[in-house]
Amino acid sequence: MTTVVEPLIHGHVAPGYEAVREEFSRNLRERDDLGAAFAVVRDGELVVDLWGGLADAPTGRPWERDTLQLIFSGSKGIVVTALMLLADRGEVELDQPVARYWPEFAQAGKAAVTVREVLTFTARLPGLRRPVTQDDVHDPELMAKLIAEQEQESDPRADGIMYGPFTQGWIVAEIVRRVDGRPLDKFFADEIAGPHGLDVHFGARPADLHRVARTEYGKGFLAQFTGFFTSEDPLTRRVWQNPMPFPPDEGIWADPRRLTSLIPAINVVGTARSFARLYGMLALDAVRDPDDTPLLLSRRLLDDARLPYVRRTDQLIGVPMVYGGGGYRLRTEARPGPDGIAFGHDGGGGSANQAWPRARAGVSYVMNRLIALGPDDKRAGSLIRSVAAVLAPPRG
């Protein structure tokens, strides 16, 4: 007879959210989660705050209340939020050329490329043309210089939309640095994370390294990228091999230099609780009266940032994508329900960080075992569906 060992789950759920706790437990029991956290903030109240499992499998270190986790491309939602703050203050205009703020960017025929095009992956700058190493990406100013010097992609597959793992973050970071004078990580810490008490950082602070969960690759994760990481196609190589966003050796994600560097589009760390608080503020700001004082960003700006700007299939990876005008990723199709017009950005391997305006809620799931996109990974989806069921209005 097999004995089922219940995973030890920490935290709390508000009355009515018990089913969410059960789904979180099932993720650890049945769906190959190693360590994870899940949080929901509604109307400013933390109604779900759960964590459990292992933060570090080799050492047996448990996932604690303040464990930090990398969210990979979920970082892009944090990148655009920082830039939106400058836009809200009138210091950046999204439809102005990047070169207005960063003159060197105009090189190689890029004088007309706008900030909005960069945010929405429509600028035809999905990758670097000059070969770089995994070490090179730790230097955001070098990466910005290389982007400034290169031309846009002429390959017709880059028309419409072409997602890239790194370049959007480096361009935005340089715009912030040119406009404000501070590097992106310090700007975000001073203007957003600090004032709002968020445990979210562009790269872990050295003193916090002991809190960072150790990321590992789960079943099928690297295999899903084999075609991109081994392709001889020049465009694919520029976007997905220069350098690889997920190197074969997962040990790179435990390297202190990688964890503490500013790699804007992939290297944000935080707690689910703080990501949910951030997106909860954005959800409230998205539905407040336009004349009310926002928590973070104005209703006027968020209306524009959430309005679908591009709806296309990326011709390189075959994935349909919808981005709002401010760079937030949207559902491919709006749908009924509390999460039907969610915005935010997902992360490679399974993380989900979203604002739900209809429910005035922020939702965050973070985990340290990366699993292939698709039917093998039901972790985030099961949690999101369970929360949506709680928040859905009763049928009468």
**Mean pLDDT on 119-148:** 98
Q: How confident is the model at residue 265, as a pLDDT? A: 98
Task: Specify the pLDDT at position 220.
Answer: 85
Phi/psi for 203 (5° steps) reads 85, 140
Q: Is the pLDDT of residue 343 over 50?
A: yes
SS3 content of the chain, % helix, strand, coil (to 5): 40, 20, 40
Tokens matching residue 322:
């919808």
As a whole number of angstroms, the distance between CA 69 and CA 221 comes to 18
Mean pLDDT of 207-227: 95
Q: Kindly state the helix (H) or strand (E) to which residue 50 belongs, with its residue range.
A: strand 45-56
4: confidence class by pLDDT, cuts 50, 70, 90: very low
For range 366-370, the mean pLDDT? 98
Dihedral angle over CA of 87, 145, 240, 173, nearest 10: -30
What is the model's pLDDT at position 6?
65
pLDDT of residue 2: 44
pLDDT band at residue 375 using 50, 70 and 90 as cut-offs? low
Q: Cis omega before residue 256 (within 30°)?
A: no
pTM of the predicted protein model: 0.97
Confidence (pLDDT) at 334 = 86
Question: Beta strand 352-356 with 343-344: parallel, antiparallel or unpaired?
Answer: antiparallel
Alpha-carbon distance 218 to 33, whole Å? 9
Residue 183 near residue 177 (C-beta atoms within 8 A): yes
* pLDDT higher than threshold 70 for residue 395: no
| Tokens of residue 47, six digits | 């109604």
% of the chain at pLDDT higher than 90: 93
Asked if residue 57 has pLDDT above 60, the reply is yes
pLDDT at 372: 82
303-331 pLDDT, tens digit each: 999 999 999 999 999 999 999 999 999 99
**Distance of alpha carbon 391 from alpha carbon 73, whole angstroms:** 27
Q: What is the pLDDT of residues 235-291, one digit of tens each?
A: 999 999 999 999 999 999 999 999 999 999 999 999 999 999 999 999 999 999 999
Rounded distance between C-alpha atoms, residue 19 and residue 23, angstroms: 6
Tell me the pairing of strands 369-370 and 216-217: parallel
Per-residue pLDDT reduced to its tens digit, 345-358:
999 999 999 999 99
- For residue 204, the 8-state DSSP code is -
pLDDT at residue 5 in the model: 53
Q: Is the pLDDT of residue 3 over 60?
A: no
